[in-house]
Amino acid sequence: MFTLIFLFLLLNIPLLVSSFIHPRCFWKVKQNKSKDGDLLTSCIFSLGSVKRPVKKEYFNRLLNVQTPTASYKFVLALAFSIDEVNRNSNLLPNVSLVFELPAGGCHPVSQLHSLIHNSEQSQEAPPNYVCYEDIGCAVLLTGPYWATSVIMWKIMDLYQSQQLLQLTYGPFHPILSDCEQFPYLYQMAPKDTSLAQAMISLMLHFSWNWIGLAISDNDQGIQFLSYLRTEMEKNTVCFAFVNMIPVNMELYMSRAEVYYNQIMTSSTNVVIIYGDTDSTLAVSFRMWESLGIQKIWVTTSQWDDITSNRDFTLTSSLGTITFAHHHTEISGFKNFVQTLTHVRYSDEYLAKLEWMKFNCEVAESKWKTLKNCSTNASLEWLMVQTFDMAFNDASYDLYNAVYALAHALHERLLQQQVNQPMDNGKEHNFNCLKLHSILRKTYFTNPVGEKVNMNEKEKLQPDYDIFQTWNFLQGLGIKVKIGIFSPYFPHGQQIRLSEYRKWWPTESGQMPPSVCSADCGPGFRKYGQEGMAACCFNCILCPQNEVSNETNLHQCVKCPEDQYANTGQTLCTDKAVIVMTYEDPLGLALALMALCFSAFTVLILGVFVKHHETPLVKANNRNLSYILLISLIFCFLCSLLFIGHPNSATCILQQITFGVAFTVAVSTVLAKTITVLLAFKVTVSGRRMKYFLVSRAPNYIIAICTLIQIILCAIWLRVSPPTVDIDTHSEHDHIIIMCNKGSATAFYCVLGYHGSLALGSFIVAFLARNLPDTFNEAKLLTFSMLLFCSVWVTFLPVYHSTKGKVMVSVEVFSILTSSAGLLGCIFVPKCYIILLRPERNSLKKLKEKDTMQNIHFS
């Protein structure tokens, strides 16, 4: 079966492709309503066969009806089909099919009910019944309404002595598929199991998710509603309203205003109409159209007659979209009608009879002028075009019914020739049952190449042609095929539409929207409203660092750690890497500052070494001065470790070098202040303090203090050493690469130890600031420690309030500033005296105290 389906689709690909390249277009000139007759007219035909040729005069006699009704198209379609079968030499040789028209023409459905009563009162033959000897049973074609088939079955059932085969050419109806109630009834139309899927596919194509529904309140409508709900739940399409129109007219009239108000107040622009055209639903639909409700009507092709009865302009309606079973074009009908002698002016007659096919490009070029044409002018223009009658679904079903019966009779004749039965037309029941057993197994290919299977269980789901219809003023209607739906196409590609915008009757050429809530664009997510349909929602902005790059997303997507959400929160962008490098202007400036200060310190060291024998250098303990200058050089240079892309080695060296170098510097300042204080004590107390100066005990302070700092740093490295840290959270749009201090406690212990040494140096220097000594540097040491402490006290809050490379630059700047403060406060004044005021760098300026004059510092 799968192979057959595949081959069937493969053979139909060229047809489908060509239908998109050359979309079918149709026009129709409507008849005057007063002459249109009852729209619910049904035609019942009886078929038979005769063993003689049937000439054209036979059809002229049967079709000579003075005023064609709305259903007369079925009579012509049936005549054409039978004529085509009779001219086929390979089908029913030496036998011709004939049919009988109803007495008085086709009957309105309302009049058929009276036939049941009349038949019960009379034993005469049922109306329109013709029993031909070759068939041996009644073969009826009934339609296009299902009620017609039910009524005729009940009438024929009154005569139990007769057997009946009934073929319906109307839309498929579930009631007629009951094999127990209607054992010999065949529905030519396929079951519309995929119609709901086709309609929902159309909604999705045009992004409609808020639709209305009006159906008949019967089994057929409820079944369709079930199919529709299943498809809607799969694709998030919602009902704005569901109008279930009751079948009972009195009940409908009591609720008609409610249905009208519901459809008028609804925000949807799309309404699906599904049900029988001979029901109260049709009454309601005519009223809605006559009141000019601005909706897009989506329905089936059987509603074409209903929708073509009202005139409107391009701005007064949103049009109608219809789904019709996909059929291959049947050619030759126009020629057949033109050969009928009773039909004069056949082009005009055909134009008023049915939708006519013509060139799409012609319609497009004349689109703007058609709406202003009168009926006669339109007809004159359209008649010069090449056109042919387009069979609707019911006409096509008639066509297939004739061929199905012909194939069944053909097979029956072959069996009779083999078996040579001796019934002589007397065993009618047997013949009818035989024909029934053959008909239900009939499977054939009709002349246009389409497969027809009379076994309902084996019928394939139909493809659908999708049409757009407008009915202009002055009685001119235009219908354009805009696409096709096939359940056998791949999922997601089952509906294929051609260029429809040029046909849409709006200035923008855009399909009107039909949604409950506007789409949540990129950067937003859907937030459902409690108690509302899934299609109704609010749109809220995505949370920070989350994005949505599609419409109507339920959840936003969080950006990876190395990316951030842009301003509109629609895209994740790579974060810029923040690191203090030499290419960065700030990093380059700090590096140049460090190098300049280092060079300046080396220069001062050179000055002190060159003038190491001068009193000023000797008086200020030149060895400690050398140590301080060298440690300051390392303090300046250690700031370079903070610049550049960090790694594990540089992260460790940053803190260790910084901690040790500054400890040496500050402890040297402490040693110098203690030395000054001890020197003064020696002059005051005699020889009691001289031992400490001679033994150079203050110099051990540097070693002891440095050793303590080294122990702290070792503990730091052991417990939690500094590492490279990639911070993706501190800043929204940047990745910060810097050294993590590891143990914050160890880092603050190092800083605290520096602070305690600086504070001790400041206190000692402050106490010795006013000692009477010409070269007393206590005041300079006091001011340098004050500046040092101020820098690092300020550093702490600023450091914690910054991030990224700014944090690194604050630390580097604090190192440079505090080191420069020590250098400037302690050594710049001395260099000034040494280089610019050498007269002050002499022994005459020393205090005239023996104790101080005898002091020599190596």
DSSP letters for 135-166: T-SEEEEEESSHHHHHHHHHHHHT-TTS-EEE
- What distance in Å separates the CA atoms of residue 61 and residue 417, rounded to the nearest whole number? 34
Closest CA to 188 of 231, 234, 140, 236: 140
Closest CA to 197 of 581, 408, 464, 526: 464
DSSP 535: T
Strands 185-187 and 164-168: parallel
Does residue 199 contact residue 174 with C-beta atoms inside 8 Å? no
Q: Quick one: average pLDDT of 753-776? A: 75
DSSP 102: P
Q: Quick one: average pLDDT of 534-542? A: 89
Whether residue 198 is predicted with pLDDT greater than 80 in this model: the reply is yes
Does residue 25 contact residue 357 with C-beta atoms inside 8 Å? yes
pLDDT band at 363 (very low <50, low <70, confident <90, very high): low
* Structure confidence at residue 503 (pLDDT): 54
What phi, psi does 125 have (nearest 5°)? -65, 145
- What distance in Å separates the CA atoms of residue 671 and residue 621, rounded to the nearest whole number? 10
Q: What is the pLDDT of residues 506-525, one digit of tens each?
A: 555 677 888 888 888 899 99
pLDDT band at 600 (very low <50, low <70, confident <90, very high): very high
Closest CA to 846 of 781, 776, 765: 776
Does residue 830 contact residue 618 with C-beta atoms inside 8 Å? no
**Which residue did the predictor score with more confidence, 414 or 804?**
414
Q: What is the pLDDT of residues 210-240, one digit of tens each?
A: 999 999 998 889 999 999 999 998 888 999 9
Residue recorded with tokens 């079973």: 325
Whether residue 18 is predicted with pLDDT greater than 70 in this model: the reply is no
* H-state helical runs in 63-194: 72-86, 109-121, 146-157
Q: Quick one: average pLDDT of 6-17? A: 38
Cβ partners under 8 Å of residue 685, min gap 6: none
185: tokens are 């009834």
**Which residue did the predictor score with more confidence, 688 or 513?**
513
**In CATH, which of 3.40.50.2300, 2.40.50.140, 3.30.565.10, 3.20.19.10 is domain 195-387+465-503?**
3.40.50.2300
Does residue 148 contact residue 112 with C-beta atoms inside 8 Å? yes
Q: What is the pLDDT of residues 323-356, one digit of tens each?
A: 999 888 888 887 787 777 655 445 666 666 667 6
- What distance in Å separates the CA atoms of residue 852 and residue 679, rounded to the nearest whole number? 8
Distances, alpha carbon 330 to alpha carbons 89, 390, 395, 712, 720, in Å: 19, 8, 11, 100, 89
* Structure confidence at residue 475 (pLDDT): 60
Distances, alpha carbon 470 to alpha carbons 202, 211, 232, 273, in Å: 18, 21, 28, 17
* Class of the domain covering 585-851: mainly alpha
pTM for the predicted model, two decimal places: 0.67
* Structure confidence at residue 852 (pLDDT): 41
Q: Does domain 36-191+391-456 have CATH number 3.40.50.2300?
A: yes
Closest CA to 403 of 458, 448, 433: 448
DSSP string, 294-336: --EEEEEGGGHHHHTSS---TTT---EEEEEE-------HHHH
Please give the torsion angle defined by the CA atoms of residues 378, 383, 388 and 389, in that order, rounded to the nearest 10 degrees.
50
In the chain, ranges of CATH 1.20.1070.10 domains: 585-851
In the chain, ranges of CATH 3.40.50.2300 domains: 36-191+391-456, 195-387+465-503
Does residue 538 contact residue 517 with C-beta atoms inside 8 Å? yes
**Which residue did the predictor score with more confidence, 360 or 257?**
257
Strand, helix or coil for residue 826: helix
